[in-house]
Structure 1
């Protein structure tokens, strides 16, 4: 379960790549989005309180002064047998900087597109929207 004040462009079935920061500095796995809920914070709390891993006091403070709250339910998670180190990402995408929050990436199958070689980095992922972005 992920709580957000603003929602990234996500939908059911989308896949989020999981980047582990220092000292690991690699994409270590992926998780599928199973459901996205948009509601008033008090209504969202009743739906997520058993899944959010936060106390109501923190939840209320987080959404203070917000009329809308978002909950992203996460489904099937996969830990990659071999992670993709930051150095390898930067070979595929020169200038790549890990996101502080989230970003999108699109893997294209067109052979002329410069991201084509990046599909070898995520061999178990489906082509489509991901939770990491390097699209120009």
Structure 2
């Protein structure tokens, strides 16, 4: 069995406990990189016996696991994988507005030591009615309300504002300063004035829910030239989301370039 196969076998071996699975995987990875136990011990500043113990048992803290993996020249990622056909996977795809793909699993991150990778993929595109997008870009409306939104979204995340019909264009950007999840009545009491929404419209929007989300916004900027839907479709095969989507890498790069043509 080659080294790659040994790593895969260690990860998926169901005949032993989870700790030993981790230990065997670490050993296989170390051997694949070409380090001896003594070399790993020197890189980590610990004794060889400690390396042997880790690889024999594997029941280490995440912080220690992170150091071990980084000593190999890699970064640690821990993910949760949901079966693609499960009810949980279907609901999460809908709530997070994730693209469908051929994978048999929905994989979501739990932990990553690669901060740049995490931050680089999180720009959002929000669909917002023109009467509200105009007020956001004018600095008047500082809160956007949503029925569902991932609380894991990082503060400072860039959001690009797609102004819906009749404008049908990405008209500017803002940043998320805070995401608040509250009972519906508390959202109205706290944000009704800065959200610029009528009570009837508010109640209709949140109908059937007990809780909702308030996205506090900052640093709103207007594009000097809006990017209309026809251009977005032609360049990026873009379909306006009902609520929001994560910007794909090619589109995110282009939108970042477009910000050289925005007014403060």
The root-mean-square deviation of aligned C-alpha atoms, in Å, is 2.7
Indicate conservation of the 8 Å contact 1:26/1:85, yes or no: yes
Higher share of residues assigned strand: 1
Distance in 2 between the 1:60 and 1:21 partners?
21
Indicate conservation of the 8 Å contact 1:84/1:121, yes or no: no
Is 2:262 aligned against 1:120?
no
Deviation at 1:4, TM superposition (A): 1.7
Distance in 2 between the 1:88 and 1:66 partners?
36
Deviation at 1:51, TM superposition (A): 1.4
Deviation at 1:105, TM superposition (A): 0.9
Aligned residue pair count: 116
Decide whether aligned partners of structure 1 residues 20 and 67 sit closer, same or farther in structure 2, where only a CA change above 3 A counts: closer
Task: Tell me the alpha carbon deviations over residues 48-76 of structure 1, each in whole angstroms, 9 at most, x when there is no partner.
Answer: 13312234454345434422121111211
Q: Where does structure 1 lack aligned partners over 5 or more consecutive residues? A: 108-114, 126-136
Distance in 1 between the 2:154 and 2:201 partners?
26
Please say which structure displays the higher CA radius of gyration. Answer: 2
Question: Which residues in structure 2 correspond to 1:1-136 (within 5 Å)?
Answer: 1-8=143-150, 10-56=153-199, 58-93=201-236, 95-107=237-249, 115=250, 119-123=253-257, 124=259
Deviation at 1:86, TM superposition (A): 2.6
Q: Which has the higher contact order (CA 8 A, sep 6+)?
A: 1
